[in-house]
Amino acid sequence: MNDTKSLLIYHDYAEQIEALSGDECKILMIALINYSKFGQIDELHGAAKMAFIFIKQQIDRDAEKWEKTRNNRSNAGKRSAEMRANIQQTATDNNKGEQATTDNQQNQLNSKSNSNSNKEKNNIKKESESKPRFTKPTPQDVDEYCNTRSNGISGQHFCDYYEARGWILSNGRKMKDWKAAVRTWEQNNKANAPPNKPQGYTYGGEHGGDKDGDSS
């Protein structure tokens, strides 16, 4: 009946207990314990029975009071547990929200970085594509160009000269415009040719000091 593992004895019981003999007092205490612990009502007689009825009412009130206290404690414990769970869930949700925000910001930064990187790659590619690639001329190409300028430079001599040097100019750079080099040879010929030489005199390349002029 009562799971408090205790039996309260009040001073108010003194009057009923003092009227009992030693054996009756012993029988009463056993009966009170059985009732408090198991809800069992022992058979009593006389003054012991009267005392039991009086004390039993207090035992019942104490049991009811204890049951209310236990329920209140249980409910308070449940509310506290629910509150802790709510706080923990709120913290978890907030962390997830913050993490989602952080992830979104990081994704935006990565996307922006990738976009900028792609733009840079495209710009480099466009710049590379926009720059004309050097194509070695053939002796015929050089002859045709030199004929239009009537400079007398041999296309075969020009190509052999630069082919032997890997099409590298005197400044150590790769040739980018062979026509500019032809024009430089032309100027060198005019500057270094002996007087009274007939038209068509070839004096380019190493004879002209290899001042190529293609500095691009």
Where do the domains of the chain lie? 11-85, 139-208
Structure tokens, 174 = 């790769």
- Residue 206: the pLDDT is 45
Helix axes 178-192, 139-149, angle to 10 degrees: 50
pLDDT at residue 214, rounded to an integer: 59
How many other C-beta atoms can be found within 10 angstroms of the C-beta atom of residue 208? 20
Written as six digits, the tokens of 192 are: 């270094």
pLDDT at 166: 93
- Number of Cβ within 10 Å of residue 72's Cβ equals 10
Q: Residue 8 in contact with residue 36, Cβ under 8 Å?
A: no
d(CA 43, CA 48): 10
- Residue-level pLDDT at 209: 43
73-124: per-residue pLDDT in tens? 988 888 888 889 889 888 888 778 788 777 878 878 877 777 777 777 766 6
Burial of residue 102 (number of CB atoms within 10 Å: 0-12, 13-18, 19+): exposed
pLDDT of residue 70: 84
Stretches where the chain sits below pLDDT 50 are: 199-201, 206-207, 209, 215
pLDDT value, residue 155: 93
Backbone angles phi, psi at 154, to 5 degrees: -80, 125
**CA–CA–CA angle 34, 56, 25 (5° rounding):** 65
Q: How many CB atoms lie within 10 A of CB 40?
A: 11
For residue 152 the two structure tokens come to: 């007398």
Contacts of 202 (CB under 8 A, 6+ apart): 152, 153, 154, 157, 189
What does R_g of the chain's alpha carbons equal in angstroms?
58
Residue 133 identity (one-letter amino acid): R
Tell the burial category of 55 from Cβ atoms under 10 Å away from its Cβ (0-12, 13-18, 19+).
buried
